[in-house]
Amino acid sequence: MAEMRVLITGGAGFIGSHLAERHIELGDEVVVLDDLSTGRIQNLRLILQHPKFSFQQGSVMDLDVTSKAVEKCDIVYHLAASVGVRRVVDDPIGTIERNVSGTMCVLRAVDRFKKRLLFTSTSEVYGKSAKVPFSEDDDIVLGPTVKPRWGYGCSKAVDEFLIQAYMRQHGLYGVIVRLFNTVGPRQLGNYGMVIPTLVRQAMKQQPLTVFGTGEQMRCFLHVSDAVHALTQLASESSAKGRVVNLGGTEEISVNDLARRIKAITTSSSQIHNIPYDDALGPGFEDIDRRVPDCTRVRQLIGFSPKFDIDAILRSVVGHELSEKEGQFASGALQ
């Protein structure tokens, strides 16, 4: 495939930084646009000085900034969004505004300059559907508007409707990828991400905080598997106009997840189950199972994850240990 100029919005974030590195490895030019509200410049430290990489600090909600960045690229990965259940609960206005207004600006720019778009959506758009596994053509079942927890999934669903509208009315080249619990090195626990939170608690011999009963089932996908699939979907012509689930296929309860993290870290931490009302406010709703039907992504690109859950956890623990050693070596820890 010929070299491209790639724009990644939200590219200083966890997934975006890995995606940027992947495209640099492929020989492409990469531009990251990020306002650093949740992303971190240190996530890009491995490629910051690379001659084919450039970073621009700015918001996708600024149409002028976004348009200038889009104009010079061949393909746009739109990852910029509010992320994490904690951020969604604490800042519901900002969540909806950033997701919908940001995507609207990106779409206007992409449409104006006739660029290709890959948009990362979320499993949250399925809401509280009881049909498992979740398939791309399933109905969306969102909770009531009085519960802010559903604002994130709703805003991302609106983003999807906007993209579909641009594809139908203006012939936009778009691919929508619904990510399911993508995890790995560099992910922070600040906004409610379960694996980095539990790993850091275990390494510090702190109680492992598990919300609810802990019997809710989840599937996790390593970030390297995710970015490999994203780059393939972005260049796969048969993915044009499609909505595609992307996630792991191995189900595990959050309680079992905590137990495996204890074993891998040889931690003496105890598992503490915390009611949702205490952790995330009154009336918080969760779903028992979030499992993707990955038939479509297998058919499109032959996708199969390389990392099982134990390999994912070892990867995260190894990264945390190396980060800790680096802090000691630099004198950051006294």
Place of tokens 């309680």: 255
Of the candidates 128, 183, 180, 178, the one whose C-alpha atom is nearest the C-alpha of residue 157 is 178
**Whole-angstrom Cα distance, residue 74 to residue 113?**
10
Contact between residue 127 and residue 155 where contact means Cβ atoms under 8 Å apart: no
Q: Which amino acid type is present at position 218?
A: R
What tokens were used for 97? 């505004």
Buried b (16+ CB within 10 A) or exposed e, 151-165: bbbbbbbbbbebbee
152 is catalytic: yes
Contact between residue 287 and residue 247 where contact means Cβ atoms under 8 Å apart: no
HEC secondary structure over 177-218: EEECCEECCCCCCCCCCHHHHHHHHHHCCCCEEEECCCCCEE
To the nearest 10°, report the CA torsion of 303, 306, 310, 311: -140
What count of other Cβ atoms lies within 10 Å of the Cβ of residue 150?
21
Active-site residue, from 152, 166, 173, 276: 152
Beta strands in 24-172 (DSSP E): 29-34, 53-57, 75-78, 116-122
CA 262 from chain centre, in angstroms, equals 25
Which residues participate in catalysis according to the annotation? 152
